[in-house]
């Protein structure tokens, strides 16, 4: 009699559904509770003949353990499942996701790439060089005299020479212009040379709306037989009109640089007032965008190029300067402050 009851209850316990909180609760009360079916069978143990009591008792204990094990396992599974449900049960999984915010190109990179594209169309390939330079490539090879004020500590960041450098090695510095790369290509590349060199340069300047200790340049150089100032002017005209439009005028103002002779500064029609005069162009109608000239024969000779046979022109422009004109930005510091309100205004990729 007891054996049959135990077998029937064992079958029930093995097959009972335990898949949610309600069935778990019912199982616990029905089988494991103080007034449950197992407790009821334990009560009936006293009616079992004495010689069977021990065996029946053992079967009942085993069944109780089995019921408890099933219950514990189901409860753990239910808790694990509960951990995966969202904190907010009303969350609507069919809503579209919040899109990832796309970054924008930095205005200096946009202008740099546009400038390089314009020069690439007339055959100028990019050349790059190190930001830490030696005195030769930054000054001496470019015809800066020994006592030139640009070599002064107040204009240039000098750095400790690299580890293992020979004693008495030449001074090292953060390059003050990308003309260093002009020297490097003249020293190493076969003629004719037609290169454009973008890069970051450093000057020992107090940071203000109009000056910074770090800025960017795009320089270019062309060296071949019979290159004239007319070729230089044509390249500058082409570049300015490609970048700013055919209605922009250009003028060359005589100037002086140690590494070019003759030298000129390049002015273009003020983009803000179109030449009428405004506070950006100081009411002149013109703004300066860079410098240029014919490569000084001494600079060619320093790079072991025969200045009797070859001539060339070079120019340099500030990327910040052109970006400020193009986007009408009035404070140089905005380029490096990483203010999202400023950066978000430029073209997304
Ligand atoms: Zn103006």
Could you give the domains of the chain? 2-83 (no CATH), 107-161+170-346 (3.30.930.10)
Give the orientation angle of helix 319-327 with respect to helix 107-120, to 10 degrees: 110
pLDDT of residue 118: 94
Select from 117, 259, 275 the least CA-distant residue to 198: 117
pLDDT of residue 116: 94
pLDDT score of 349 more than 70? no
Q: CB of 268 within 8 A of CB of 238? A: no
pLDDT (tens digit, 9 = 90+) per residue, 201-215? 999 888 888 888 899
DSSP for 261-284?
Answer: EEEEEEEEE-TTTTTS--TTTTTS
Q: CB of 257 within 8 A of CB of 291? A: yes
pLDDT band at residue 20, thresholds of 50, 70 and 90?
confident
pLDDT (tens digit, 9 = 90+) per residue, 73-86? 988 888 887 766 65
- 22 to each of 9, 25, 28, 189, how far by Cα in Å? 20, 5, 10, 84
Say how many Å lie between the CA of residue 210 and the centre of ligand 1: 16
pLDDT (tens digit, 9 = 90+) per residue, 85-141? 656 777 788 888 888 877 888 999 999 999 999 999 999 999 999 999 988 889 888
pLDDT (tens digit, 9 = 90+) per residue, 214-225? 999 999 999 999
Say how many Å lie between the CA of residue 275 and the centre of ligand 1: 6
Say how many Å lie between the CA of residue 286 and the centre of ligand 1: 7
What residues does the ion ligand 1 have nearby, CB within 5 Å?
270, 272-273, 278, 280-281
Report the pLDDT averaged over residues 226-230. Answer: 94
Q: CB of 64 within 8 A of CB of 13? A: no
């Amino acid at each position: 009699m007891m054996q049959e009851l135990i077998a029937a209850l064992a079958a029930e316990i093995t097959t009972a559904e335990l898949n949610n909180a309600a069935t778990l609760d019912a199982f616990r009360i029905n089988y494991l509770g103080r007034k449950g079916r197992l407790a009821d069978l334990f009560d009936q143990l006293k009616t079992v003949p004495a010689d069977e009591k021990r065996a029946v008792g053992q079967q009942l204990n085993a069944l109780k353990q089995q019921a408890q094990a099933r219950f514990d396992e189901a409860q753990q599974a239910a808790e694990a499942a509960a951990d995966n449900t969202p904190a907010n049960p009303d969350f609507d999984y069919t809503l579209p996701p919040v899109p990832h915010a796309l970054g924008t190109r930095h205005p200096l990179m946009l202008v740099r790439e546009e400038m390089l594209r314009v020069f690439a169309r007339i055959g100028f390939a990019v050349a790059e060089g190190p930001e830490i330079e030696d005195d030769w490539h930054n000054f001496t090879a470019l015809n800066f005299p020994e006592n030139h004020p640009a070599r002064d500590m107040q204009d240039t960041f000098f750095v400790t020479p690299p580890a293992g450098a020979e004693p008495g090695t030449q001074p090292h510095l953060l390059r003050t212009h990308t003309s260093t790369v002009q020297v490097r290509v003249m020293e190493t590349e076969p003629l004719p040379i037609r290169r454009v060199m973008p890069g970051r340069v450093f000057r020992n300047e107090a940071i203000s709306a109009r000056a910074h200790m770090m800025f960017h340049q795009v320089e270019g150089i062309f060296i071949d037989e019979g290159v004239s100032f007319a070729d230089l002017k044509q390249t500058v005209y082409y570049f300015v009109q490609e970048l700013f439009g055919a209605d922009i005028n250009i003028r060359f103002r005589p100037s002086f640089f140690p590494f070019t002779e003759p030298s000129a500064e390049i002015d273009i029609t003020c983009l803000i007032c179109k030449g009428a005069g405004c506070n950006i162009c100081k009411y002149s109608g013109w703004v300066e965008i860079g410098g240029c000239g014919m490569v000084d024969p001494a600079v060619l000779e320093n790079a072991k190029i025969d200045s009797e046979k070859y001539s060339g022109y070079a120019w340099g422009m500030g990327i910040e300067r052109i970006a400020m004109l193009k986007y009408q930005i009035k404070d140089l510091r905005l380029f490096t402050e990483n203010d999202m309100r400023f950066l978000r205004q430029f073209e997304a990729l």
